[in-house]
Amino acid sequence: MSGAAPTPIDERAAVDAATFARDIVGSDRPVVLRGQVADWPAVAAGRGGPRALADYVLRFGSGAPVDTMVGPPAINGRFFYNDDLSGFNFVRRQVPIPGLIAELLRQLDTTADRRHAIYANAAAADVHFPGWAAANLLPLPIAATARLWIGNAVAVATHYDASPNVACVVAGRRRFTLFAPEHLANLYIGPLDHTIAGPPVSMVDPEQPDLARYPRFAEAQRAALVAELGPGDAIYMPALWWHHVRALDPVNLLVNYWWEEAHSAGPFLALVHAMLAVRDLPAGDRAAWRHWFDHLVFDDGAAQAGDHLPAAVRTVLGPPGDERRARIERFLIASLQQRP
């Protein structure tokens, strides 16, 4: 990334479960955990080189094909939109694990400028690599599915996760560039409903930013946090922190864990609906509705906004819980179905 030297991400040595829960998750700041999974058998296999890593991964393959992104050498590993944003600069394929591994190894015999970008993303271990999670236990208090990301020297566009995330490097090196949530406007987000792989992405390439086209990115650039992780290292990223990830070696493997996933899409959907229902109202109406949103959603006391009512009739204003969630969902579905 061009410009002044970036700020490093805070680092800790490997932590135990209690320290992670108390000091890491509660801080709402990203943290690199050096050597957190250094004792994984997978990391040991990766230290033997790409073919030793391949042999290890193939021990767990279920035969189920994985979602794989493939791009031509010209994209330099950067999966992104095509020039007019009507599509993408790569194709998606369902590839069996043995075929994926074989192609990655074959590409090693090709010069770097002629290698296709290949990336199998978010393959759930329990589906695609049964036995992996038991053999490579994450020593942190996270109830989440292990997901494997296997590829060559590719770059994942700057995006956010709606859930907190722990990412563990098994093989190869990765450079993480993070931006705090308050830099949303400086990142020039792309389409919300036509995305590369789920969440919206920044239109700016942080490795070669076009500041004439995206001038506010300079502010995000000055505040960027950067770290390079090697095998055995992990990183904790809070929800909604933007991150760009560049794999630096010709064969690499990362395992990540998202948790609190069940309802993580809810805020984004609420945002999109608010754009439909609120954004285009007259200024006075928007100002009035802002009071509602503050009182019932954003104020520190929003959870107690219905406490003046008898408990039996608080319904959607009541405390969090499955009953309230179900009631709200029924109310929303019924309301939307009644729209003309």
Tens-place pLDDT, residues 127-166: 999 999 999 999 999 989 999 999 999 999 999 999 999 9
Token couple for 110: 């090709």
Domains present along the chain, CATH in parentheses: 7-258 (2.60.120.10), 266-337 (no CATH)
Provide the pLDDT for residue 230.
Answer: 98
Check residue 31 and report its DSSP letter: E
The chain-wide mean pLDDT, for the chain, equals 93
- Please classify residue 220 by burial: count the beta carbons closer than 10 Å to its beta carbon, then call 0-12 exposed, 13-18 middle and 19+ buried: buried
263 vs 65: CA distance, rounded Å: 27
Residues 6+ apart with CB under 8 A from 331: 316
User: Do residues 179 and 159 make contact, with C-beta atoms less than 8 angstroms apart?
Assistant: no
Burial 294-309 (b: 16+ CB within 10 A, else e): eeeeeeeeeeeebeee
With bands split at pLDDT 50, 70 and 90, how would you rate the model's confidence at 1?
A: low
Element (H, E) at 329: helix 322-337
Q: Are 186 and 217 in contact (CB under 8 A)?
A: yes
Q: What is the mean pLDDT of residues 247-253?
A: 96
pLDDT for 284-335, tens place per residue?
999 999 999 999 999 999 999 999 989 888 888 888 888 888 888 888 888 8
DSSP 23: I
Q: Please list, in sequence order, all residues whose beta carbon lies within 8 angstroms of the beta carbon of residue 219, skipping any fewer than 6 positions away.
A: 183, 186
Integer Rg of the chain from CA: 22
Total-model pTM? 0.91
Structure tokens at 188: 């020039």
Q: How far apart are the C-alpha atoms of 45 and 100, rounded to whole Å?
A: 18
Among 7-11, 26-30, 65-69, name the one with the lowest average pLDDT: 26-30
Dihedral angle of Cα 324, 325, 328, 330, to the nearest 10 degrees: -110
Contact (CB, 8 A) for 160 and 242? yes
The pLDDT-based confidence of 269 (bands split at 50, 70, 90) is confident
CB 241 within 8 A of CB 22: no
pLDDT tens digits, residue range 197-226? 889 999 999 999 999 999 999 999 999 999
